[in-house]
């Protein structure tokens, strides 16, 4: 009992509100100004979406300004704030804003300060109700960051169509790679019982513009497509609809056999095709705005078209045909690597998919992970980006921290996302960034999208680590605008979640920005990758070498031996560099012109290879590990100084988590260096602390109950 209480109280109740706590503003001058600007509101319309938008505005203004007397039905001719879609506005204002409204499409909005009949007024307008809701959230966010509205002239629209979360939630409420408690979907109590969490989840998503969610694990269970579960999915879709969120489901390729009674799932078989046609019609009967299917096929043992000697196009197009009459999409994942292919795992998705460019139907989106291996702390961008001009290719990031310290380590992921989005693919010459490849500006796309694997669970604070909320927030902001920089996002999130005091925001912004490099340094420096312990991926396991398939073993990825370390992906090795456009192909083929952050990703180099700063490779690796540890120690000392700006509870919680992070950073450093030292046979350089335990000790650590593991991998 005591233990239970201790767990429950270690998370602050305030953390449940995420970035939507609408903290009271203490600066009275600002409060008076905001009050004057929002006291009489003419909020037009009464759709479900408009009702939630009004409620949100009332809540936000009430909390921030202590204003409980907000009028929502003021006369639009004299209101302080006028909110309405284009057609609801008075023609004079409509005409003044016509140009802006043309630019913002279905989901964008305009917030403008203007003078109406000699009186200052703010106008929030858009072409649709959902965009009004987005505008309301943005207005409240600006106020939450204490920004002046006096001259506001904001015309904003999302640059990406599909802004989506993928939950890897199982029907038994475990979450694959989930570190924040159980799944928030309570399948047993649905459809009748609507948890308040579903509504707060939808609000949080809408506040950052997320407009689609896939509810279930990509390692799918076909039961989700049976009538009993579809009724439950319908209930969730009904909750999400006013917030502009479409529901997708993961579709197990073998569902026609498992729940349909057929003896094949061959995509060219007519009975199979008809089964999917009927299934789609059944789902749309319940959920008219259903988004579609997300499919992981022929990857890591999942069934797929190749089981029937068919290919990805056959499989994806078969499902796309079933969904097309209902305007649904198939999201087909490109995360494939095969036990029958001995080639470098990093090359396989490109080799399998790029030849199919132009063959997928218009409603097929090919979902590609940000890097070619698997959500590592750092990877070069996936070579498929920009390489399939005739395909709607969308990007998949992992928000949950499978390879970044679970929900124990503080790591600000927008920095990682930004690095990928800003990478130049050179597919159409210099400046062909990944962001441009996916937002449709490099090649015309039928549909664009950005997906994040959710880090959300039943923990009181949603994400396990209170700072992991920033990763959910940041993902949404980047999906809306992939050109936003990580600093801006950090600044916004800190102000909305904790405090507007610069003495808090500035050092904490620095801490967030540096946190990503810290984790790279203490886990996988200089391009090392996938040296995690097996299955659960908790902690280091560079020594693991005896698993059934070569690419399951960390030794496959680091290749350490007495001669050196790293994966040779040059023309002399696996030639994965050939999948990148010039000049990258040429530059990354030579260690001297490869950025050091990717060095051991592309090259196997001797221990005494000389790095840019004059250190040998061995010394450089060791110093990076130490630097990572030092960075965490710095984070701890910054956090110590933040006590005045957060509650005692919040302070203690993050302090405890940072202490674990420091302990685990040292674990990574010591375990990896001791192991690599058996090959390098060199002493640790000056400045690197001596390991506290032996290599055998680190090897002996086992974690059979680490969270987030797939049941079949136990």
Q: Which residues bind ligand BDP (CB under 6 A)?
A: 176-177, 218-219, 296, 300, 335, 374-375, 402, 710
What residues pair up with 250 in beta bridges, in sequence order?
Answer: 294
Nearer to ligand BDP, 407 or 630 (CB): 407
Four-residue CA torsion sign, 660, 665, 669, 672: positive
Nearer to ligand BDP, 152 or 218 (CB): 218
Nearer to ligand BDP, 173 or 710 (CB): 710
Peptide bond into 480 cis (omega under 30): no
Q: What do you get for the CA distance between the two ends of the chain, in Å?
A: 29
Q: What is the C-alpha to C-alpha distance for residues 218 and 211, in angstroms, rounded to an integer?
A: 19
Catalytic-residue membership of 402: yes
Using alpha carbons, select from 341, 334, 344 the residue that is nearest to residue 570.
Answer: 344
Q: Are 599 and 526 in contact (CB under 8 A)?
A: yes
Which residue in 277, 289, 300, 314 is the catalytic one? 300
Residue 385 Cβ vs ligand BDP, minimum distance, rounded to whole Å: 17
Cα angle 196-202-203, degrees, rounded to a multiple of 5: 90
Q: How far is CA 667 from the centre of its chain?
A: 27
Q: Are 168 and 177 in contact (CB under 8 A)?
A: yes
Using alpha carbons, select from 394, 403, 388, 286 the residue that is nearest to residue 335.
Answer: 394
Nearer to ligand BDP, 367 or 521 (CB): 367
Residue 618 Cβ vs ligand BDP, minimum distance, rounded to whole Å: 30
- Strands, E assignment, 549-699: none
Q: Are 478 and 484 in contact (CB under 8 A)?
A: yes
Residue 47 Cβ vs ligand BDP, minimum distance, rounded to whole Å: 37
DSSP type of residue 120: E
Which residue in 141, 374, 492, 664 is the catalytic one? 374
Q: What is the C-alpha to C-alpha distance for residues 244 and 131, in angstroms, rounded to an integer?
A: 9
Nearer to ligand BDP, 161 or 374 (CB): 374
Q: Which residue's Cβ has the minimum distance to ligand BDP?
A: 374
Residue 567 Cβ vs ligand BDP, minimum distance, rounded to whole Å: 18
Alpha helix (H) residue ranges in 104-128: none
Nearer to ligand BDP, 353 or 375 (CB): 375
Peptide bond into 191 cis (omega under 30): yes
Residue 224 Cβ vs ligand BDP, minimum distance, rounded to whole Å: 16
Q: What is the C-alpha to C-alpha distance for residues 529 and 554, in angstroms, rounded to an integer?
A: 8
Nearer to ligand BDP, 136 or 213 (CB): 213
Residue 358 Cβ vs ligand BDP, minimum distance, rounded to whole Å: 25
Nearer to ligand BDP, 177 or 241 (CB): 177
Q: Are 600 and 558 in contact (CB under 8 A)?
A: yes
DSSP type of residue 150: T
Residue 217 Cβ vs ligand BDP, minimum distance, rounded to whole Å: 7
DSSP type of residue 613: T
Sheet holding 153-156, edge to edge: 41-43, 81-85, 119-126, 109-116, 153-156
Q: What is the C-alpha to C-alpha distance for residues 41 and 537, in angstroms, rounded to an integer?
A: 52
Residue 176 Cβ vs ligand BDP, minimum distance, rounded to whole Å: 5
Q: What is the largest CA-CA distance in the chain?
A: 81
Which residue in 169, 266, 402, 551 is the catalytic one? 402
Length of the chain, in residues: 714
Compute φ and ψ for 541, nearest 5 degrees: -150, 45
Rounded to 10°, the helix 270-286/312-323 angle is 40
What residues pair up with 246 in beta bridges, in sequence order?
Answer: 212
Nearer to ligand BDP, 15 or 402 (CB): 402
Q: What is the C-alpha to C-alpha distance for residues 200 and 642, in angstroms, rounded to an integer?
A: 28
Residue 93 Cβ vs ligand BDP, minimum distance, rounded to whole Å: 48
Q: What is the C-alpha to C-alpha distance for residues 524 and 46, in angstroms, rounded to an integer?
A: 53
Residue 78 Cβ vs ligand BDP, minimum distance, rounded to whole Å: 55
Catalytic-residue membership of 649: no
Nearer to ligand BDP, 352 or 402 (CB): 402
Residues annotated as catalytic are 300, 374, 402
């Amino acid at each position: 009992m005591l233990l239970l209480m201790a767990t429950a109280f270690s998370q602050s109740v305030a953390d449940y509100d995420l970035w939507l706590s609408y903290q009271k503003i203490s600066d009275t001058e600002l409060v008076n100004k905001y009050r004057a600007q929002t006291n009489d509101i003419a909020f037009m319309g009464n759709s479900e979406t408009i009702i939630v938008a009004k409620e949100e505005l009332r809540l936000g203004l009430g909390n921030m300004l202590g204003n409980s007397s907000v009028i929502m039905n003021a006369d639009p001719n004299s209101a302080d704030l006028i909110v309405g879609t284009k057609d609801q506005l008075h023609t004079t204002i409509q005409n003044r804003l016509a140009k802006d409204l043309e630019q913002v499409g279905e989901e964008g909005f305009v917030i403008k300060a203007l003078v109406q009949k000699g009186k200052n007024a703010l106008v929030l307008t858009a072409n649709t109700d959902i965009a009004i809701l987005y505008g309301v959230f943005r207005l409240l966010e600006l106020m939450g960051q204490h920004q002046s509205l006096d001259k506001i002239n904001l015309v904003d629209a999302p640059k990406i169509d599909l802004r989506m979360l993928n939950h890897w939630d199982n029907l038994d409420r475990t979450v694959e790679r989930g570190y924040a408690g159980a799944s928030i979907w309570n399948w047993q109590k649905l459809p009748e019982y609507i948890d308040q969490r579903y509504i707060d989840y939808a609000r949080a998503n809408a506040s950052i513009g997320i407009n689609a969610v896939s509810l279930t694990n990509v390692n799918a269970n076909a039961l989700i497509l049976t009538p009993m579960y579809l009724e439950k999915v319908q209930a969730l879709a009904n909750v999400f609809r006013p917030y502009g969120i479409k529901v997708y489901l993961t579709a197990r390729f073998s569902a026609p056999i498992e729940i349909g009674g057929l003896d094949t799932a061959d995509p060219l078989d007519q009975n199979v095709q008809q089964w999917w046609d009927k299934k789609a019609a059944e789902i749309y009967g319940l959920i008219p705005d259903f988004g579609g299917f997300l499919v992981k096929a022929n990857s890591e043992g999942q069934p797929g078209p190749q089981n029937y000697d068919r290919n990805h196009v056959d499989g994806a197009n078969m499902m796309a045909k079933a969904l097309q009459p209902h305007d649904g999409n198939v999201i087909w994942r490109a995360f494939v690597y095969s036990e029958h292919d001995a080639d470098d795992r990093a090359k396989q998705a490109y080799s399998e998919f790029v030849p199919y460019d132009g063959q997928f139907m218009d409603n097929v989106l090919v979902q590609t992970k940000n890097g070619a291996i698997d959500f590592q702390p750092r990877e070069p961008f996936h070579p498929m980006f920009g390489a399939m001009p005739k395909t709607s290719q969308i990007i998949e990031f992992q928000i949950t921290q499978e390879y970044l310290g679970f929900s124990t380590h503080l790591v600000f992921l927008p920095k990682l996302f930004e690095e990928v989005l800003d990478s130049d693919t050179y597919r159409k010459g210099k400046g062909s960034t990944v962001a441009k490849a996916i937002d449709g500006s490099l090649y015309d796309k039928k549909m664009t999208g950005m997906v994040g694997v959710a880090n959300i669970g039943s923990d009181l604070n949603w994400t396990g680590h209170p700072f992991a909320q920033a990763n959910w927030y940041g993902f949404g902001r980047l999906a809306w605008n992939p050109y936003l920089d990580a600093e801006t996002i950090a600044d916004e999130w800190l102000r909305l979640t904790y405090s507007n005091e610069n003495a808090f925001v500035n050092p904490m912004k620095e801490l967030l920005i540096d946190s990503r490099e810290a984790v790279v340094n203490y886990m996988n420096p200089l391009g090392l990758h996938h040296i995690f312990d097996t299955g659960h991926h908790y902690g280091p396991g560079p020594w693991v070498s005896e698993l059934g398939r070569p690419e399951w073993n960390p030794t496959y990825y680091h290749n350490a031996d007495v001669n050196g370390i790293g994966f040779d992906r040059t023309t002399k090795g696996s030639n994965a560099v050939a999948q990148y456009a010039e000049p990258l192909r040429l530059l990354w083929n030579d260690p001297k012109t490869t950025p050091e952050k990717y060095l051991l990703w592309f090259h196997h180099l001797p221990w005494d290879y000389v790095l840019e700063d004059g250190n040998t490779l061995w010394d450089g690796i060791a110093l990076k590990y130490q630097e990572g540890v030092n960075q965490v120690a710095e984070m701890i000392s910054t956090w110590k100084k933040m006590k005045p700006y957060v509650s005692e509870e919040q302070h203690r919680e993050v302090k405890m988590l940072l202490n674990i992070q420091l302990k685990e950073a040292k674990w990574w450093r010591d375990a990896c260096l001791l192991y690599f030292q058996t090959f390098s046979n060199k002493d640790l350089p000056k400045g690197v602390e001596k390991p506290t335990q032996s290599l055998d000790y680190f090897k002996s650590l086992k974690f059979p109950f680490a969270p987030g593991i797939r049941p079949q991998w136990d």
